[in-house]
Amino acid sequence: MSKKIKVHLLVNETAGNGNAKKANIALQQVLNELNIPFTWQKSRFPKELTTLAKNYVNTNPSENNILIVVGGDGSFNEVLNGIKASNYPDTPITYLPAGTGNDFARGAGLTADPRQLVHNLLNDPAPEQVDCGYFSANIPGENTGYFVNNFGIGFDAFIVYQSNHEKLKDMLNRLNLGNLIYGLNVVKALAQQDTFTVTVKTKDKTWRYSNAYFVTTTNHPYFGGGFAILPKADIYSHHLDTVIVEKPSLSKFIFLFSKLLKDGSHVNAPQFHYVEAQEIQVETRKPEFAQIDGEDVNAQGFKVKFKIDHFNLLK
């Protein structure tokens, strides 16, 4: 039996080099065809979706009101943080992925087809409790928060930072060449990203790596638009995984990357390490860039405490 629903869309039209704007139009067409009432809001500046989500949930606490995020993983992150800060932190979230990487959607097995998504919602699915990460850190202006993908320091964060601040970004996006930026900055990171010392702690043990190159605490296997850095990670595991990669030679990097693409056997390399726990502390001293679900953080030394958390997802 089809459920009677009312939908509210939170949209970041700039996500996915404008792909989210097209996805929003397609989704609204399906809702109109099926006579499903809906309202929608779009963000005008970074972090606005957090405020919009919090305000919407606080004024519309009904199980028949379905909140759909249309955008990328960064957009979903903003909405999750708004929900968590609201008076109704268990409010389910629905996600139509329309970003560049869509790693959370990949890890959660979500559809990017607006018609299929609406069909699923009309079948009255039960919300699924899935994992997310919570962090407290020494980041000015953002000392706590939630993430659905990963919190990275080093190599991946260097790429994100350089890409987000690329002078040619807007022009290349208009030409649908936005992904070229990331490819160019991978090469740049290989040449310029240095090594650093990281200390990783759990309740029972401490590890120290003095030649770290890539340190990311992840909620599921993927980063960078579909690369499975830790294939065993899972959004239903109820723990987080911190991956540490020590810097290999260029030839070894290429070899490990080929293994990552082929069968995931890069995890057996001596440069690859990971720690899994419900609570993990990561500390670096040397200034490095960080990224949280694809949003960059300025270079600094980090002291971050991670804890596993959860939220409700409608698929």
- On whether the pTM is more than 0.85, the answer is yes
Q: Could you say which of 75, 102, 125 is where a domain stops? A: 125
CATH of the domain at 144: 2.60.200.40
* pLDDT tens-digit readout, 88-114: 999 999 999 999 889 999 999 999 999
Give the domain CATH number at 57.
Answer: 3.40.50.10330
Q: Are residues 295 and 223 in the same domain?
A: yes
Q: What is the spatial distance between Cα 177 and Cα 287, in angstroms, rounded to a whole number?
A: 31
Q: Which of 84, 102, 125 is the last residue of a domain?
A: 125
CB neighbours of residue 44 within 10 Å: 10
Q: Which of 54, 58, 73, 60 minimizes the C-alpha distance to 12?
A: 73
Q: Please name every residue paired with 7 in a beta bridge, in sequence order, or none if there are none.
A: 38, 66
**Would you say residue 315 lies in a domain?**
no
- 111 & 195 share domain: no
Co-location of 120 and 139 in the same domain: no
| End residue of a domain, out of 91, 125, 159 | 125
Same domain, 24 and 147: no
Q: Are residues 95 and 186 in the same domain?
A: no
Residue 253 lies in a domain: yes
* Domain total in the chain: 2
Task: Give the side-chain half-sphere CA count within 13 A for 52.
Answer: 24
Identify the bridge partners of residue 135 per DSSP, sorted by sequence position.
145, 306
Based on the fold, state whether residues 20 and 168 are members of the same structural domain. Answer: no
Q: Which residue type sits at 112?
A: A
> By C-alpha distance, which of 96, 99, 107 is closest to 130?
107
3-state secondary structure 111-177: CCCHHHHHHHHHCCCCCEEEEEEEEEECCCCCCEEEECCEEEEEHHHHHHHHHHCCCCHHHHHHCCC
Does 266 lie in the same domain as 210?
yes
Residue 98 in 3-state DSSP? coil
* Res 315: pLDDT: 92
pLDDT score recorded for residue 182: 67
Q: Report how far residue 6's alpha carbon sits from residue 37's, in angstroms, rounded to the nearest whole number.
A: 5
- Residue 159 belongs to a domain: yes
Residues 168, 270 within the same domain: yes
Q: What is the pLDDT of residue 274?
A: 96
Query: 117 and 185 share a domain?
Result: no
Mark whether 185 and 39 lie in a shared domain.
no
| Secondary structure (DSSP) of 41-83 | EE-SSTTHHHHHHHHHHHH---TTEEEEEEE-HHHHHHHHHHH
pLDDT value at position 63? 76
> Has residue 26 been placed in a domain?
yes
Same domain, yes or no: 147 and 118? no
Whether 17 and 73 map to the same domain: the answer is: yes
Place of tokens 């320091």: 153
Is 107 among the domain residues? yes
- pLDDT-flagged residues of the chain (< 50): 1
Residue 146: CB atoms within 10 A of its CB come to 20
For residue 38, being part of any structural domain is answered with yes
Query: Is 1 a member of any domain?
Result: no
Domain residues for the domain of 73 are 6-125
In a domain, 130, yes or no: no
